[in-house]
A and B are shown apart, each in its own frame.
Chain A
Amino acid sequence: MAASLRKLVPTTFNLVLKQVRPERLVCSCKNEFISLNTLQESLVKPSFETLSFRRCIGTSSVAQTEKQKADVVKVKKQKILESEEQTTETMVSEDDEEDLDVLYKRLIIEVKGHDFAVLKSYTKFVKLAAKHLQLNFQQCSTPPKHIFRQSVLKSVHIFKKHFVQYEQRTHYQIYELTKITGSTADTYLEYIQRNLPEGVAMKVTKHRLENLPDHLKPPQNSPLQIEHSTS
């Protein structure tokens, strides 16, 4: 299933300057990586540095789809922070610009239910699905439960000293997935939601990566100068 999903995921890569602050990053998902040796023949200037999500400078890694040829590397159309050498070498494939996949930095799934045993077994299922699809299942946290109590008179008439207490318990679980593409997220979420048990509610929060807006420009003579690629 993971292999067939990979075909759906379009290409992304991250080419960023070394000194860039993480807020300005266009991060990518490490869904497909090819070793540097195979790429060096295809790329003209392979000497670029990549900055991963955790700000550690890893080895150069570029993701490629199966449909594209070796020389073509896909670029996002506006305002990607790139090194100067790269802009001349990269080519943009026109037809794929429209279907550029959304990138999610974090996917937070909050699940609540009355029965904690049900949530526990659902957690197992969610983790297993993420493991099979090779997603970054960051963590699974259990916020404290919420109890709503009502004290009600036991008798219909008089007997104020005797009450009955009823309570409603809501248990929570929060799953966090990091660095996931839009299509993968859609597939995974649909699978998860179709198998949601009855009596369990789910809320999904997606943190999407966006390009920097045009009106924000770094100051002159700074290493963060953006080269506008005229395509």
Chain B
Amino acid sequence: MAALIPLRKCCQTISIPYIASRGIQTSVILQKKNVRAGVYKISTKKNVPLTYEEAKAPYKLGVEKSWNTWNTTNLKDEGRKSETLIEDEFIRNFMMGTWHRMIVSDIVIKRKHNMINIAFYVNRRRSLAISKVYFLVGYTEELLSCLLKCPVKLEIQSVESDKDMIFKYI
């Protein structure tokens, strides 16, 4: 779980060299204007759809938004950061390839002991046949378990169409 939260209030002591002596903006409104990473630009016609994950900015992580990977590697005095990260990247690439065009949400990877749970939403219509979904579930679980050497479980929820995932229009 990448627990990186951009700091909203600069009231605490910051160890930036020479910046502290220049003074820092502490008001929240001005701060929000300066945060542009992960924030979509509002269009003139307001017809750009956004899912819930896309709509919420990264500074809302932990408040209105949750992480896409859940593991203990980034806790203090806990290890295996790089291996877990690479495994996550591999799993995401694998899923996008195997379930091409069928996944409509972010892929959530949860790690409990040595088990990996992968959760996402699937578009029922685009998968063309329910038996295809069942086959892919078994195929993914088996292959990923062999590749990652630990039990892998898929937690799938399905959605009728892409429109069900839209949170707001920008």
Q: Which A residues are within 8 Å of any B CB, using their own CB?
A: 112-115, 146, 148-149, 151, 154, 161-170, 193, 196-201
**Which residue in A113, A167, A196 is a CB contact (below 8 Å) of B5?**
A167
State whether the Cβ of B121 lies closer than 8 Å to any Cβ in chain A: no
> For the complex, what is the distance from the CA of A161 to the CA of B34, rounded to whole Å?
13
A163 touches B19 (CB 8 A): yes
0/1 per residue, B48-87, Cβ < 8 Å to A?
A: 0000000000000010000000111011101000000000
Chain B residues with CB under 8 A of A161: 19, 22
Please give 18 more A-B residue pairs, beta carbons under 8 A apart, in addition to A112-B75, A162-B34, A166-B7.
A112-B76, A114-B3, A115-B62, A161-B22, A163-B19, A165-B7, A166-B4, A167-B7, A168-B74, A169-B3, A169-B5, A193-B113, A198-B110, A198-B117, A199-B1, A199-B72, A200-B72, A201-B75
Chain B residues with CB under 8 A of A113: 72, 75
State whether the Cβ of B14 lies closer than 8 Å to any Cβ in chain A: yes
Chain A residue at smallest Cβ distance from B115: A198
How many of chain B's residues touch chain A, expressed as a range?
20 to 34
Chain B contact residues: helix, strand, loop or mixed: loop
Q: With A151-B16, A163-B16, A168-B4 in contact, do A201 and B78 touch (Cβ < 8 Å)? A: yes
Number of A-B contacts (CB under 8 A): 63
Q: Which B residues are within 8 Å of any A CB, using their own CB?
A: 1, 3-7, 10, 14-16, 19, 22, 34, 37, 62, 70-72, 74-76, 78, 110-113, 117
Report the minimal beta-carbon distance from B52 to chain A, rounded to whole angstroms: 19
Chain B residue at smallest Cβ distance from A114: B3
Chain B residue at smallest Cβ distance from A197: B112
A-B contact pairs, 8 of them (CB 8 A): A114-B3, A165-B6, A165-B10, A166-B7, A169-B5, A170-B76, A199-B72, A200-B72
The 9 nearest A-B residue pairs measured at CB: A165-B7, A198-B70, A201-B72, A199-B70, A198-B110, A166-B4, A170-B76, A114-B3, A198-B112
> For the complex, what is the distance from the CA of A169 to the CA of B62, rounded to whole Å?
11
A167 touches B4 (CB 8 A): yes
Chain A residues with CB under 8 A of B10: 165
Chain B residue at smallest Cβ distance from A166: B4
A114 touches B7 (CB 8 A): no
Chain B residue at smallest Cβ distance from A196: B112
> For the complex, what is the distance from the CA of A55 to the CA of B75, rounded to whole Å?
40
> For the complex, what is the distance from the CA of A219 to the CA of B36, rounded to whole Å?
77
> For the complex, what is the distance from the CA of A169 to the CA of B61, rounded to whole Å?
13
Chain B residue at smallest Cβ distance from A172: B76
> For the complex, what is the distance from the CA of A115 to the CA of B5, rounded to whole Å?
12
A168 touches B3 (CB 8 A): yes
A166 touches B6 (CB 8 A): yes
Chain A residues with CB under 8 A of B117: 198
A146 touches B76 (CB 8 A): yes
